[in-house]
Structure 1
Amino acid sequence: MPDFLAPRSWKPMPRRHDPDRRDRIINAALAVIAEGGVAGTSHRRVAERAGVPLGSMTYHFTSMDELLREAFTRFAERVSERFTARLSAVVRREQLASAIVALVHEDLVAGPDDLVLTLELYTLAARKPAFRQITHEWMRRSRAVLERHVDARTAHKLDALIEGLFIHVSLDATPHGRDVTRDAVLRFLSP
């Protein structure tokens, strides 16, 4: 009998220890979403980007929605951390406008994909109510930090102003400068 037909004892393949695989998949999902949107995101594309076998996708995530929730939650937390860091440094109310200008022109656009990911999350939350929890939690965290400096009602409106300014600065064909942002914030905060 030729050697290749001889019975062999079966040995399981050793499992590769890869403790960062789940994190790589989540980060790869964010990169794929930034490139092609939620609609262009698939298990196969994410697995290829993460450099993992396709089977890892269903091992770590029961569905695409679960992966999207994890990815957008990570993204929202990352942006919230920048927001919190910037506004936590404010000691006096007079510093608040400068901090908000820095948020709009620096922190909220710190990553090259931040605008696209933000808008993709908003679109997904508008279409699928289950994703609104991510945006609600993100807004709650932002408002809580703002409430250290202004009352709750003002924090709610100021959060919306910051978001609008960020989108306009990011998308306008001729984006306004820091001076226009500062003026808008000061007008808003004046008694």
Structure 2
Amino acid sequence: MAAQERPPGSRLGRRNDPERRDRIIDACLDLVSRSGVAGTSHRKVAAAAGVPLGAMTYYFDGMDDLLKAAFTRFATMISDRFERRMAAATDPELARQAVVAIILEDVFGDDRELVLSHELYTLAAREPAFRSITTAWMGRSRAALERHFDPETARMLDALIEGLTIHRALDSQARDRREVEVAVARITAR
């Protein structure tokens, strides 16, 4: 069978594993959450994904390409959650409550997400090529907030969400929900 006659999804006459690329990305995110970007390699990702090391180059041009795909998936997942929360708000008070819920429940929903976010921030701070991911993430956050708030307020809320989420995640003392509610109310007061 000639190359142009191969069935879709096949390479050299063999069926590809249609979920392999996704498994590689998922394994990369898991490894980054446990070992950091510096502790993640093609070899480790291939082993964690259960794929041959040589398969990595079929799907990704290198480690940077894999990290971009993985962090883009992660940022998109968080942004989707954020957008759903803000889209469900039907009035200004529900929008403020949605922002509080984003801070307390959605962003950095667990330690894995906290670590992945900070790994992405650090990578983007060091490598300008990764800033497009964080820029897109912030843009989507602000657009979701702008459904209910003017652009300046949305920008302040976006910064508040990041800052309070980090403080709440890293502070050794439990923080009061009321603190978040007061901060959101002050920024959104007319």
Deviation at 1:97, TM superposition (A): 1.9
- Tell me what 2:173 maps to: 174
Deviation sequence 1:149-184 (CA, Å, 0-9, x none): 111111111100011111111111013121111111
- Tell me what 1:88 maps to: 87
- Tell me what 1:141 maps to: 140
Query: How many correspondences in the alignment?
Result: 179
- Tell me what 1:103 maps to: 102
- Tell me what 2:131 maps to: 132
The residue matched to 1:106 in structure 2 has which SS? Answer: helix
User: 1:168·1:175 contact (CA, 8 Å) conserved in 2?
Assistant: no
Deviation at 1:98, TM superposition (A): 1.2
TM-score (norm 2): 0.90
- Call closer, same or farther: CA 1:78–1:111 in 2, change over 3 Å: farther
Amino acid at match of 1:41: T
Deviation at 1:109, TM superposition (A): 2.7
- Call closer, same or farther: CA 1:181–1:100 in 2, change over 3 Å: same
User: 2:100·2:180 contact (CA, 8 Å) conserved in 1?
Assistant: yes
Q: Between Structure 1 and Structure 2, whose CA radius of gyration is higher?
A: 1
User: 2:124·2:134 contact (CA, 8 Å) conserved in 1?
Assistant: yes
1:148-159 matches, cutoff 5 A: 148-159=147-158
Deviation at 1:14, TM superposition (A): 7.3
Distance 1:88 1:17 in 2: 38
1:1-191 matches, cutoff 5 A: 15=14, 17-191=16-190
Amino acid at match of 2:162: E
Deviation at 1:49, TM superposition (A): 0.8
Deviation sequence 1:110-147 (CA, Å, 0-9, x none): 34411000000000000000000000000000000111
* Backbone CA RMSD of aligned residues: 1.4
Distance 2:178 2:104 in 1: 11
Percent identity between the two aligned chains: 55
TM-score (norm 1): 0.90
Distance 1:187 1:145 in 2: 19
The residue matched to 1:109 in structure 2 has which SS? Answer: coil
User: 1:109·1:115 contact (CA, 8 Å) conserved in 2?
Assistant: yes
Deviation at 1:16, TM superposition (A): 5.2
* Structure 1 unmatched ranges of 5 or more: 1-12
Distance 1:25 1:105 in 2: 30
